[in-house]
Structure 1
């Protein structure tokens, strides 16, 4: 933190339009109990910095593994186990901030994430936590008739519905219905609507839990869509997933592992004024 102005250094990055504010917590030392309030204030668009999530990068405690850890919060202040696009952004920024080298491992609530960042190219690749709880063929009523829903946890829970034309789906309405469906209570799920273009290309749109709206991209959602499509025999083990923002995420399934790769873009670095956000440090 700097001077009497009570400002805090921040970094804004996005992965395929999925945007995040990052704070280096090594010097700031913000307690975890205060982080949800910071996320709600900082991520608020128009009145804050504006982002889908707030991420604190921190030193690794003695009882944990990895080159560093993160504390990840959605825009509504809820803590998330994992976020694929944020993990790619974190990997790139961590190299630039001196947390780790280009190939490293960092800790999330979902477990350790192996990452490889090419700062010069603005690209990052991460190995997500092993997919679990795969469930195919769940028939649910989402308010517009019965839909065939599939589920997998790729670090966070994801439900996937395949549509003939994903571009015409009312993601805000159907996504909210699926995200809060009693079948996934009480935690809820992220909701994805996927269209298989061919065996190597998918179009996917995501309604994100915690953001409570469609986002331009979702890395773990892309992984879930690709993993389920492959399990159903619809695609190859390596596919390109086009997000609603038009960007491409690469997903490859190798054995029991899922890899996510794509651009990670630093938009700006600067300082935010705590008073303007209604925040303070003790």
Structure 2
């Protein structure tokens, strides 16, 4: 599935065809592009005693993440299409319970309330002092105001901030955000766990919208344009610097359904192969 440019492999595991101990390594292998199916993330759907279902979400490097906005919209449509839930549903995540509404290929999810908002945080990087904003929208994000969104060194500066000691040990996602004169936000994201720029990031779009709203640059609803060009809409209520009733809306497209062969994950890992050329 694809949500605004983020792509995901989704597996219905309610019959326990996969063992939880294997989730992380399986995610890393299946998400490796060129060697396997390839994706930004791996989603396992499981039973829940308190919601319609539960998900386990893994980034492409095998690390577990509490929340992913685009992945959440995709799994909601997956659940509706496959009769796991109705078009109005709730599901458990590591970040809390998410509510979703599916309308054709459009999905709106209610995010957990943001936390840890720091409107101004001074960080020393190689190029000098930088003032950023920090907010957790299910996963931690940094937002950097960008004067020219096309000219930002997303990978270089993004990686430096992602691994900066200030954000240790978990690290952070990093967004570069430009406010257009028509009120739209243009957002580019270096994603933790993917370790590079992705075409879209749902929680990052929410982070950018809330930070710019706190700076009185935008008001709800906010249209956020990710690198993919497929817009996301962010709705929220604001009381000063506090935000609640935060919703993320965008597309969730089904690309294909099928069967994964063992060869999809049973391949030689270059990191495990001895370098015979140096012998």
| TM-score in terms of structure 2 length | 0.91
Residue 142 of structure 1 and its aligned partner are, at CA, apart by 2.6
Q: Name which of 19, 22, 44 aligns with 2:10.
A: 22
Residue 278 of structure 1 and its aligned partner are, at CA, apart by 0.8
Q: Name which of 90, 97, 110 aligns with 2:75.
A: 90
3-state secondary structure, aligned to 1:34: helix
CA distance in 1, matches of 2:180, 2:122: 23
Task: Identify which range, 156-165 or 195-204, moves more after superposition.
Answer: 195-204
Alignment of 1:4-153 (within 5 A): 13-60=1-48, 62=49, 65-119=50-104, 122-153=105-136
Tell me what 1:9 maps to. Answer: none
* 1:163-222, Cα deviation, whole Å (9 max, x unpaired): 111111010000000111111100000000000113631000000000000000000000
Q: Name which of 220, 223, 227 aligns with 2:210.
A: 227
3-state secondary structure, aligned to 1:23: strand
Tell me what 2:184 maps to. Answer: 201
Residue 274 of structure 1 and its aligned partner are, at CA, apart by 1.2
- Aligned residues of 1:199 and 1:234 also touching (Cα < 8 A): no
CA distance in 1, matches of 2:144, 2:253: 29
CA distance in 1, matches of 2:2, 2:264: 23
RMSD between aligned alpha carbons?
1.2
Q: Give the length in aligned residue pairs.
A: 262
Q: Name which of 157, 176, 193 aligns with 1:174.
A: 157
Structure 1 residue runs of 4+, over 4 Å off?
Answer: none
CA distance in 1, matches of 2:125, 2:178: 18
CA distance in 1, matches of 2:144, 2:106: 29
Whose strand proportion is higher, 1 or 2? 1
- Aligned residues of 1:43 and 1:52 also touching (Cα < 8 A): yes
Residue 27 of structure 1 and its aligned partner are, at CA, apart by 2.4
Tell me what 1:7 maps to. Answer: none
CA distance in 1, matches of 2:87, 2:66: 23
Residue 55 of structure 1 and its aligned partner are, at CA, apart by 0.2
User: Which one has more relative contact order, counting CA pairs under 8 Å at least 6 apart?
Assistant: 1
Tell me what 1:253 maps to. Answer: 236
Gaps of 5+ in 2: 239-243, 268-279
CA distance in 1, matches of 2:195, 2:181: 30
Residue 141 of structure 1 and its aligned partner are, at CA, apart by 2.2
Residue 276 of structure 1 and its aligned partner are, at CA, apart by 4.0
Gaps of 5+ in 1: 1-12
CA distance in 2, matches of 1:15, 1:191: 19
